[in-house]
Amino acid sequence: MDVKLVPTICPYCGCGCGLNLVVKDGKVVGVEPWKRHPVNEGKLCPKGNFAHEFIHRDDRLTTPLIKKNGKFEPATWDEALSLIASKFKEIKSKYGPDAMACFASARVTNEENYLMQKFARVALETANIDHCARLCHGTTVAGLAKSLGSGAMTNSIKDIEEAKTIFIIGSNTFEDHPLIARRVVRAKQAGATLIVADPRFNMTAKQADIYVQFRSGSDVALINAMMYVILSEGLEDKEFIKNRTKGFDALKEEVMKCPPEWAEPITGVPADTIRKIARLYATNKPSAIIYSMGVTQHSTGTDNVLSMSNLAMLTGNIGKRGSGVNPLRGQNNVQGACDMGALPNVVTGYQAVINPELRAKVCGVWGVKDIPGKVGLTIVEVMNAAEEGKVKSLYIMGENPMISDPDVNHVEHALKKLEFLVVQDIFMTETAALAHVVLPAASFAEKDGTFTNTERRVQLLRPAVKPPGQAKPDWEIICLLAQKMGVKGFDFKSQEEVFEEIRKVTPQYAGMTYERLRKPEALHWPCPDTSHPGTPILHMAKFSHPDGLGIFFGVPFKYQAERPDAEYPLILTTGRILFHYHTGSMTRRSPTLDNEVKTGFVEINTEDAKALGVKDGDKVKVKTRRGEIEIAARVTPNIMKGIIFIPFHFVECAANRLTIAALDPFAKMPEFKVCAAKVEPI
Ligand code: SF4
């Protein structure tokens, strides 16, 4: 009997836990802990424990498919790639490159994201390249880059244990990032105080020493009021402000308009509670902020993120062990997909496309004269342009916007208007079903390459088995397509070769090699040269702006784009649950996980449910101005009165049929976390 353990990285959340795939007779039959792995130290959450269950499913895509007369028919790779190459060329010459767009993915490797953005910019000559970080942490990248000079988690996962105060806001860490939650528990065991601010009394809130139930969308009001208390009571870190920052006067002017009594009716948090947590955060140091999509997924998401930086810099809680501003990324490679420039405003290494010198440097390595020097369209803008008939073709790798994007009815309409849609994935997703050509990709267990986790740790995958049928790794498919189109610069033989090119054009990755990444601890970026040990904590001596200073921004509070009214009196907020991941294409095909939670639900506050005549388990209709769904009610006192919550994983009661595509003006992030809704008993 041939049994081996293949160490690799979990395909799910941004923790980036190490696990061993158990391979028997050429099949992955289980998962074993990777005991020496520095992130999870041999522990896994349920998703990681059952990460093998979808790999050998019978419904994996195994051959290219071309739609003929409304039905998919199997095709050879040559037929499929020839068709795509000729259609892309035809659309480019007929409508121009602005009519084309590509979506990369936070679920595939750095190398594959790098190649997708290079393909968009070089082969299609379009600026329209984006990926799903736009829908989760686009505002983190924008906000932290503006304030700190680098759009990434400042400290490491292990470092959370060093904090004396942990302020978790808008993150259900214990459910969505369980192996980071372990570090929070360890910090608490060592005496740290945990503050959790969230509209739901969720798994994380239950562990809090101080729970702050606040209204979705009122983050800026809450943080400004905390900073008002800190400044009024002289608790700010004057030395840090003087030596390490600029813009303090603008911050002070704004914050001093926001006493806790002003914030109380906006946030729903008693003024005394705001005072208490402000004092604790400012004085019981080091203090770490942990946040996630409760902060980012708003039309004011960039403002919310700037507020996190303001609070940390005001109290000197950054650039030190146990402190920092720590966004937790949802998918396993959100950080890496951003690092690789799968974004419309920057190429790899966050180098602005509008900067001709930076472009020239990258083009020199790519062997091309130039690439588009304008900022392209973001995901929601691509959908809008498709509906308007301006975008004609879309190439999607590993994403499922038919469930993940806001206002899905609109998305469906837009995708159906495209002249040509190509989807590359491991399963026939709801989006792939609308495609003209579907390409079968390899899963995480069938390839190497690198993922970068939420703490900027770049880690190596190892292939355990071969892809099923004719499926191929995404990097190989992109290279074959580029070659079919006659485009030079895509003749890579391995992901390691791609990584070697990445190092030449991505300053943060320059000192990394596959050889160095084979060690379990791998490397945190920035790692500028091959003798550099990597950087687990950012901003220790200076911030990442050219002058080394952090920048305060005075952020006025703004209400969300759509507020409750007489017709739609409730606030709908959306999110994830422990047993499922993103659009469910993998977890809903994993029997153990699927058995735990079979379908979606809407959480309704007990008093709201009573007023509506709704009992726990009743089927209800949830309606917004964009659509309606039928879903089971989960009646609970754990959610704030006036707010309802729906997890977004389930196509049969898709939360995103209801959400609004109102955008943050800087990061173009849709407002998943707040829209006006009503519930009707059926
Ligand atoms: Fe995988 Fe995240 Fe669970 Fe770790 S915490 S096992 S990375 S899903």
Supply the pTM of this predicted model. 0.95
**554: pLDDT confidence band, cut at 50, 70 and 90?**
very high
180 contact partners, CB below 8 Å, separation of at least 6: 15, 157, 160, 173, 290, 328, 454
- C-alpha 391, offset from chain centre: 25
Q: Are 170 and 283 in a shared domain?
A: yes
Domain count for the chain, please give it: 4
- CA distance linking residue 74 with residue 428, whole number of Å: 13
pLDDT in tens, 107-121: 999 999 999 999 999
Q: Are 196 and 257 in a shared domain?
A: yes
Cβ atoms 574, 673 nearer than 8 A: yes
Note down the domain range covering 159: 138-327
User: Above 70 in pLDDT, residue 1?
Assistant: no
Residue 238 lies in a domain: yes
- CA distance linking residue 83 with residue 105, whole number of Å: 23
Output the six-digit token pair for 183: 């570090």
pLDDT at res. 330: 87
Cβ atoms 54, 31 nearer than 8 A: no
Q: What is the DSSP letter of 205?
A: G
Residue 335 lies in a domain: no
Specify the CATH number for the domain of residue 645: 2.40.40.20
Residue with tokens 């003929």: 68
Q: Are 119 and 143 in a shared domain?
A: no
Residue 552 lies in a domain: no
- Name the residue among 24, 26, 670 with its Cα closest to residue 383: 670
125-144 exposure pattern, b = at least 16 Cβ within 10 A, e = fewer: bbbbbbbbbbbbbbbbbbbb
Residue 370 lies in a domain: yes
The ipTM of this complex is 1.00
Minimum CA distance residue for ligand 1 atom 2: 13
Q: Are 309 and 367 in a shared domain?
A: no
Residue 553 lies in a domain: no
pLDDT at res. 470: 98
Specify the CATH number for the domain of residue 276: 3.40.228.10
Backbone torsions φ then ψ of 148, nearest 5 degrees? -110, -15
Domain boundary residue, one of 491, 507, 524: 524
What does the CA dihedral 422, 660, 290, 545 come to, rounded to 10 degrees? 70
- CA distance linking residue 449 with residue 472, whole number of Å: 14
Q: Are 216 and 247 in a shared domain?
A: yes
Residue 334 lies in a domain: no
From 10, 577, 579, mutation site for ligand 1 pocket: most ligand atoms within 8 A of C-beta: 10
Atom of ligand 1 nearest to the CA of 13: 2
If you average pLDDT over residues 509-536, what whole number do you get? 96
- Give distance in angstroms: CA of 15 to centre of ligand 1: 6
Q: Are 158 and 250 in a shared domain?
A: yes
Cα distances (angstroms) measured from residue 79 to each of 76, 216, 497: 5, 50, 27
Strands 3-9 and 18-24: antiparallel
The residues with which 376 forms a beta bridge, in sequence order, are: none
- CA distance linking residue 289 with residue 76, whole number of Å: 51
- Name the residue among 430, 386, 396, 342 with its Cα closest to residue 138: 342
Residue 56 lies in a domain: no
DSSP letters, 512-525, are --HHHHTSTT-EES
Domain boundary residue, one of 269, 295, 327: 327
Q: Which residues line ligand 1 (CB under 6 A)?
A: 10, 12-13, 15-17, 40, 44-45, 47-48, 177-179
pLDDT in tens, 88-146: 999 999 999 999 999 999 999 999 999 999 999 999 999 999 998 888 888 999 999 99
Q: Are 92 and 42 in a shared domain?
A: no
pLDDT in tens, 308-363: 999 999 999 999 999 999 999 989 999 999 999 999 999 999 999 999 999 999 99
- Name the residue among 462, 547, 544, 474 with its Cα closest to residue 508: 544
Cβ atoms 587, 620 nearer than 8 A: no
Atom of ligand 1 nearest to the CA of 180: 5
**49: pLDDT confidence band, cut at 50, 70 and 90?**
very high
**535: pLDDT confidence band, cut at 50, 70 and 90?**
very high
- Give distance in angstroms: CA of 12 to centre of ligand 1: 6
- C-alpha 402, offset from chain centre: 17
Q: Are 157 and 126 in a shared domain?
A: no
Strands 393-397 and 420-425: parallel
pLDDT in tens, 263-319: 999 999 999 999 999 999 999 999 999 999 999 999 999 999 999 999 999 999 999
Q: Are 380 and 499 in a shared domain?
A: yes
For residue 605, the surrounding DSSP H or E stretch is: strand 601-605
pLDDT at res. 138: 86
Q: Are 317 and 195 in a shared domain?
A: yes
Taking the CA atoms of 441, 335, 448 and 365 in sequence, report the sign of the dihedral they define: positive
Cβ atoms 181, 304 nearer than 8 A: no
If you average pLDDT over residues 603-623, what whole number do you get? 97
Backbone torsions φ then ψ of 672, nearest 5 degrees? -65, -25
Residue 225 lies in a domain: yes
- Name the residue among 330, 403, 397 with its Cα closest to residue 600: 403
- Give distance in angstroms: CA of 308 to centre of ligand 1: 25
Cβ atoms 448, 471 nearer than 8 A: no
If you average pLDDT over residues 531-537, what whole number do you get? 97
Helix, strand, or coil here: 451? strand
- CA distance linking residue 327 with residue 561, whole number of Å: 23
- CA distance linking residue 44 with residue 40, whole number of Å: 7
Average pLDDT, the chain: 96
Output the six-digit token pair for 646: 């729906």
- Give distance in angstroms: CA of 50 to centre of ligand 1: 10
Minimum CA distance residue for ligand 1 atom 4: 17
Q: Are 125 and 196 in a shared domain?
A: no
Taking the CA atoms of 656, 659, 663 and 667 in sequence, report the sign of the dihedral they define: negative
Atom of ligand 1 nearest to the CA of 44: 6
- Give distance in angstroms: CA of 43 to centre of ligand 1: 9
Q: Are 80 and 23 in a shared domain?
A: no
Specify the CATH number for the domain of residue 31: 2.20.25.90
Specify the CATH number for the domain of residue 398: 3.40.50.740
Atom of ligand 1 nearest to the CA of 179: 5
